Structure 1
Amino acid sequence: MSQPRRTSRRRAWAVLTLPVLVCVLASCSASPAAGPATGRGADNAAPAQGTAAPSASPTPTGPPGTLFDNFHYSGADDPSLAAHGWQVRTDGGTPGIKDTWSPAGAGFPSDTTAQGGRVLQLRATTDGTKQGTKQTEVLSTGTAFLTGTFAARIYLGDEPTSGKGGDHIVQSFSAISPDDTSANYSELDYEYMANGGWGSVGPQLDTTSWFKSDPPDRVTHAVKQHLKGWHVMVITAVNGKATYSMDGKELFTSSGKYVPREKMDIHFSDWFIDLPFTGGPRNWDMKVNWFYYKAGEAVSPADVQKTVDGFYGAGTDYVNTVPKS
C-alpha cells in the first residue's frame, strides 16, 4: 500500500551550491572521456587538467526535448549541480521524520558497479532517535516535466550499509507537483520499502499515480519481492496513460484522472517512515546512476538504454534541451 502523502511540502528548499556566474564558464555537456568516471575526475576533486569547466547554464546540444544526467559532480557544492537544475533538500517538513532533511547524505562517489563508474548517492542515517536521524533528497528545478518518458537506473538496498537492519526505509524515484494544494496536483512514484511500513510487511515496491495529495486519492500496485541491486525504472506518461516498467517488464498502468495534469519536479529520496527501534547507528544507501527524460514521447526501455549508452559512448555527462518551466 502506498504511503499517506506529504504534508506542508512546498518547494522552498535551500540550494546547497556555491554562487554561479551565468554564461561565463565553458560548457561541460560533452566532457572528454577520462576512464570510468567520464569527464569529472576523482571523488571530490576539481576537474582534471584539460577537462571542460562546469557549465553555468544548461547547454542546448543533443536531441530536442531531452534531458540526460549521469551525475558526474565533485560534490554537493559543485557549481554545475545547481547550474544543471538540481538541489539538495535542506528544509523541514515531511515525508518521514519531520525536520530531518540534511545535505550530509548527498554525495557523488566512484562506483565500479555503475555505468560510467560514478553515482549520486543518497544516504539516510539514524540511531532510532529523531536527533540522530538524517534523511536525504535531491530534486530538480527549472525544467518542465509533464508528459513523456522518465527513466533512471537506481540501486536499491535490502539492508543497511552499516549497522542493524529492520528500519522502515523508503527509497523513491518520483515526479511530483511543486505545490501539494494545486487543483491539478500530479504525482508518479516508485517507492521501495525493504522492510515494509504502515502495517505492510516488506519487501515491497509500490508504483503509484496520484490525483490528489490531501485527502489521498491515488491508484497503486505492489510488487512483493526483494529487489536489492541495480534496476532501470521507466515511466511513460502519454496518451492518457501512465505506465511503469522495471528492467523492461511492465508493472502497472494508470489512466483516467490518474495521469499528469501539470508540470512536475523530479525527486530522488531516501527516508524513514518511522523509527521502530534504537539499536545504535545505521546507514541506508540508495544510488542513482543516471536520469533520462524525453518530453512528449513514449520511449521503450530498450531504446532508453540505447540512448543512454550513446551518451556514455560520446563522453556526454549532461544535456538539457527541454523547455524551461
Structure 2
Amino acid sequence: MRRKLLVGGLVSALLAALAAVIAAGPAGAAVSLRLQYKTSATGATADQVEPWFNLVSTGSTAVPLSGVKIRYYFKADSASQQYRFACSWAVVSCSTVTGTFGAISPGTATADRYLEVGFTAGTLAAGAQTGDLQLRFYRADWQRITQSDDYSFGPARTTYGDWTKVTVYQNGTLLWGTAPTGGNPTATPTPTVTPTAPGGNAGVVFDDFNYAGADDAGITAHHWTVRTNSGGPGVPGASWPKGNISFPSVGTGNQALQLRAASDGTASGTQQAEFLHQRKFLAGTYAARVKFSDAPVSGPDGDQIVQTFFTITPLAADLDPNYSEQDFEYLPNGGWGEPSNIMYATSWETYRNEPWLAVNVHNEVRASYDGWHDLVLQVSGGTIRYYIDGTLFAEHGGDYYPETVQSVNFNLWFIGGGLVGSSTQRAYHQQVDWFYHAKNEVVPPSEVLSRVNGYRASSTRWVDTVPAS
C-alpha cells in the first residue's frame, strides 16, 4: 500500500479540490447534473434490487427531464433471465418515471445489463434536485437476485451520496459517472413517419361509428362485435346486454359509439358493456377520441367503475407468455386502493388469477379526466408509448411489449366489491367519437388528428385495409 504524506492545509485543500473534480464526472464534460445513490436492500442477494436516486442540478439553467437518462449496471443471473421494473415512490411522481432494460455487449464480470431510468415530463430547475426516486427491479420468475457482483451496487450506501458507478446522460451525452466497458448508449434511430393523409402504408382502420344501432349489419361487416356473453371483468354475475351499445348523435351530422353500464347494487341488476374488434392488430398506432365521465347520467354517484380503451391478446393459461394487453383505464371514483379519480396506462406481460399475480408495468395520474380526450397508443420497435391530448403519458418496453396479434376493445365495467350501498338504479356512459389504426407506422398525435379530419372532410365513414391475421 502506498502512503500519502499530507503537509499542512495547502495539500489538504488541493486534495479536496481534486476530489470535487473527480466526483463531478468525466473531464471535459459540460457537467450540469450529478447523481446521488443509496440502497434499501444491502444484502449480497435480495428479493429485489432497490436503487434509490436523487438527481441534483449543478448548472445555471433548467434541465428538461424528458431528455435525461440514468443507467444502473448489473450482472444478469443468467443469459436468459428477464427482469421487471417498478417505481415505489417518487417526489416527481412515479407517473413520470420510466424504466427499461438493455444489454451490454460484450459484457464484463460485473455488468452485462443495465436499467435505464427516464422521465416523461418535468423540469429540474437550476440548483434544484428531484428528491427521492425510490426504484426497484426483480426477476421475472420471482427468485432471489444475486447483486454482490453488480457494477453499480453499493452495499455500504445506506444514505444518499454522490455515486459515479451510475451514469447520467442528457440527450445521449454523458454528464455524470463512469460506465463499464461497452456500457455507453448508442444512438437510437428516430421512427420514420410517412406523411401521407389519410395515410397508412401497411393498412389502416378508421371508423366514425355511423351505425343505426347495436343490430346494424354494418357492425359485423366491419369486424366489430357487441359483447353479450357472461364473465369478467367486473361484478361476478353481471350481464352484458346488446342494448347497452348505441350510437347517439354528438354533433351536427356526427355520431359516437356509446357504452352504458347500470346497477341497482345487486349482481343480477348490474349491466356492463363492451365493443371489440377482431384480433389482427400488433405494431402500429392506435387512436380514439373518448369521452370519460366523472358522474353517472342518473342515480347516485360513487360506484367504482372502469372506463377503458385497450388492446389485448387472450390469456390461454395462467402466466401465458403470449398474453399481452395495453390499457387506458380511467377510474372516476377510484378503486384498487385508490380513493378518487385516477388515470392508468398499463402494459401487461401476463397474469395468473388464483392466487392473483400481475406481471405488468403502469403509470398513473391522479386527476379528473372528465370530458373528451384524444388517446394515442404507439406500439413499435420494442417500445409502447401512451399519449393523452398530445402529451406523452407513459412509455414502456422490454417484456411488456406484445408478441402476438391483439383485438381492440372499449369496455365499461364496475369493479367487484366497489358498488355503493344503494338499491337506486344508476347508469354511466362512455362515448367514443372515432377509432383509427395505422399498421406498422408510428404516427404522431397531431398527424392522427389530421388524418381523421381528412376522412371526415371527404365524408369517409369507414375504412379497413388491415389484413386479417
- TM-score (normalised: structure 2): 0.54
Is 2:455 aligned against 1:311? yes
Could you tell me which residue of structure 2 aligns to residue 150 of structure 1? 286
Maintained 8 Å contact 2:285/2:379: yes
Is 2:219 aligned against 1:75? no
Match of 1:263 among 405, 412, 422: 405
The aligned amino acid for 2:295 is E
| SS of the residue 2:433 aligns to | strand
Match of 1:301 among 426, 445, 450: 445
Q: Deviations over 1:184-206 (max 9, x none)?
A: 11100000000111221120000
**How do 1:84-103 and structure 2 match up within 5 A?**
84-100=222-238, 101-103=240-242
Could you tell me which residue of structure 2 aligns to residue 242 of structure 1? 384
Q: Deviations over 1:164-209 (max 9, x none)?
A: 1101010000100034434311100000000111221120000000
| SS of the residue 2:340 aligns to | coil
- 2: distance between equivalents of 1:179 and 1:252? 24
The aligned amino acid for 1:131 is S
Maintained 8 Å contact 1:92/1:99: yes
Aligned-pair distance for 1:118? Answer: 0.7
Match of 2:245 among 82, 90, 106: 106
Farther off after superposition, 272-281 or 312-321: 272-281
Could you tell me which residue of structure 2 aligns to residue 133 of structure 1? 270
Q: Deviations over 1:102-148 (max 9, x none)?
A: 21210011112x8x52100000000111121100000112x510011
Identity of aligned residues (%): 40
Match of 2:363 among 221, 224, 242: 221
- 2: distance between equivalents of 1:159 and 1:279? 17
- TM-score (normalised: structure 1): 0.78
Higher strand share: 2
Maintained 8 Å contact 2:321/2:349: no
Farther off after superposition, 301-310 or 278-287: 278-287
Maintained 8 Å contact 1:62/1:319: no
CA RMSD in angstroms, aligned pairs only? 1.7
- 2: distance between equivalents of 1:168 and 1:211? 25
Maintained 8 Å contact 1:158/1:228: yes
Is 2:420 aligned against 1:276? yes
Maintained 8 Å contact 1:164/1:279: no
Is 2:330 aligned against 1:192? yes
| SS of the residue 1:257 aligns to | helix
Is 2:354 aligned against 1:212? no
Q: Deviations over 1:187-236 (max 9, x none)?
A: 00000000111221120000000000223100001111001100000010
Could you tell me which residue of structure 2 aligns to residue 174 of structure 1? 310
Relative contact order higher in (CA < 8 Å, ≥ 6 apart): 1
The aligned amino acid for 2:254 is G
Could you tell me which residue of structure 1 aligns to residue 255 of structure 2? 118
- 2: distance between equivalents of 1:230 and 1:281? 25
Maintained 8 Å contact 2:313/2:405: yes
Aligned-pair distance for 1:323? Answer: 1.1
The aligned amino acid for 1:315 is S
Aligned-pair distance for 1:151? Answer: 0.3
Aligned-pair distance for 1:279? Answer: 4.3
- 1: distance between equivalents of 2:376 and 2:316? 24
Aligned-pair distance for 1:154? Answer: 0.2
Maintained 8 Å contact 2:199/2:451: no
- 2: distance between equivalents of 1:273 and 1:84? 30
Aligned-pair distance for 1:99? Answer: 3.6
| SS of the residue 1:216 aligns to | strand
How many residues align? The count is: 263
| SS of the residue 1:146 aligns to | coil
- 1: distance between equivalents of 2:343 and 2:290? 13
Aligned-pair distance for 1:280? Answer: 0.4
The aligned amino acid for 1:192 is Y
| SS of the residue 1:306 aligns to | helix
TM-aligned CA distance change 1:206 to 1:62, over 3 Å: closer
Could you tell me which residue of structure 1 aligns to residue 141 of structure 2? none
Structure 2 unpaired stretches of 5+: 1-85, 87-197
- 2: distance between equivalents of 1:188 and 1:180? 17
**How do 1:16-35 and structure 2 match up within 5 A?**
none
Q: Deviations over 1:241-279 (max 9, x none)?
A: 000000000010001111111100011000000323224
Q: Deviations over 1:33-52 (max 9, x none)?
A: xxxxxxxxxxxxxxxxxxxx
Maintained 8 Å contact 2:237/2:268: no
